[in-house]
Amino acid sequence: MKVTSFGEVLWDDFESGKVLGGAPLNVMVRLSNLGADAAMISRRGQDADGDELVRQVAAKNVKTDFIQTDTEQATSLVKVSLDAKGCASYEIVYPCAWDRIAVENAALQRVAESDAFVFGSLAVRDEVSLASLRRYLEVAKFKIFDVNLREPFYTTELLLDLMKQANMLKLNDDELQLVAEALGSKYHSVEQNIRFIAELTDTSTICVTLGNHGAVLFQDNRFVHHSGFRVQVADTVGAGDSFLGALIYKLLNRADPKEAITFACALGGMVASKHGATPQISLEEIERFMYPM
């Protein structure tokens, strides 16, 4: 299984220190952890933070060949604040190196060869990276849009454009409501708004996470639900990214949709129960968590 992601690589700056992050990278780290050939297309600064970032990404077995170096913009540093429930808010500096991602022939070839190409909405807040993403989308086989909203770095028009180009969408329930309302939906339920977006964008696969209430997967005109796993939350950083990585892993392996969403909910819950976005978790640990003796 070969998967490539486009977007932000950064340092999440917590009170306790800096941790490697960025939603597209977190998804690749989880896929690599599950055994996939994962690669990241991004850009970092020509600085010490960038050197350490590349070293740590490589240590997580994600290919760094397509992480470019920018001589003008710094490696991204994001201030993270956690509330009493472990939910995160972010201060994202603009511009930074990943706002200037370029098109490279080797990266184009990698995308064309990949079973899936994952991208989000944050990394295209700048016209340079947006133009590059459009070129990569031209050669991608199966396009997965992680609608990872960060105000004020998106517009309704751009979201709709990118959703129409995707084969699969992933949102959380708050994002679903915001996007559906912005696009003119008069519906209130999760299922109604999923169908509304599916019809508007001609997308056959949409997954919506529901926090501690699990997730719903819409695929080929049918819904599959999972109510989630009860865990003691340490922090929610990266939980949705690991959920998406797990879901991609199962769907590309042609797993039954119910099996896929159960596995994804389990892994997302396990990550939320630990500190940091990408804790090491083995397949055996996931199985024991899902089916305790």
Please, what is the average pLDDT of the chain? 94
pLDDT at 265: 97
Contact between 159 and 132 under an 8 Å Cβ cutoff? The reply is no
The runs of H, that is alpha helices, within 38-79 are: 48-59
pLDDT at 86: 67
| pLDDT for 145 beyond 70 | yes
Q: Are strands 88-92 and 76-82 parallel, antiparallel or unpaired?
A: antiparallel
Given pLDDT bands bounded at 50, 70 and 90, which one contains residue 219? very high
Which of 30-39, 142-151, 160-169 shows the lowest per-residue confidence on average (mean pLDDT)?
Answer: 142-151
Question: Is the pLDDT reported for residue 84 higher than 80?
Answer: no
Q: What are phi and psi of 284, to 5 degrees?
A: -65, -40
Place of tokens 């409501």: 177
3-state secondary structure of 185: coil
| Residue for token pair 């050939």 | 37
Average pLDDT rounded to a whole number, residues 173-199: 97
Please report where in the chains the tokens 């990585």 appear, as a residue. 245
Element (H, E) at 28: helix 23-33
- Single out the residue of 213, 246, 242, 269 nearest to residue 86, CA to CA: 269
Q: What tokens does 251 get?
A: 């769907």
Mean pLDDT of 77-95: 80
8 Å CB contact between 153 and 126:
no
Burial class (CB in 10 A: 0-12, 13-18, 19+), 211: middle
DSSP per position, 213-268: G-EEEEETTEEEEE-------S--TTHHHHHHHHHHHHHHTT--HHHHHHHHHHHH
Which domains are assigned to the chain?
Answer: 2-290 (3.40.1190.20)
How far apart CA 252 and CA 3 sit, in angstroms, is: 10
Q: Output phi, psi for 225, to 5 deg.
A: -115, 155
Q: Which residues contact 167 (CB under 8 A, 6 or more apart)?
A: 142, 143, 144, 203, 204, 205
* Coil/strand/helix, residue 1: coil
Cβ contact 132:68 at 8 Å: no
What pLDDT is recorded for position 90?
75
Distance CA 97, CA 72 (A): 8
Q: 279: pLDDT confidence band, cut at 50, 70 and 90?
A: confident
Q: Is the pLDDT of residue 269 over 80?
A: yes
Tokens of 238: 């990266």
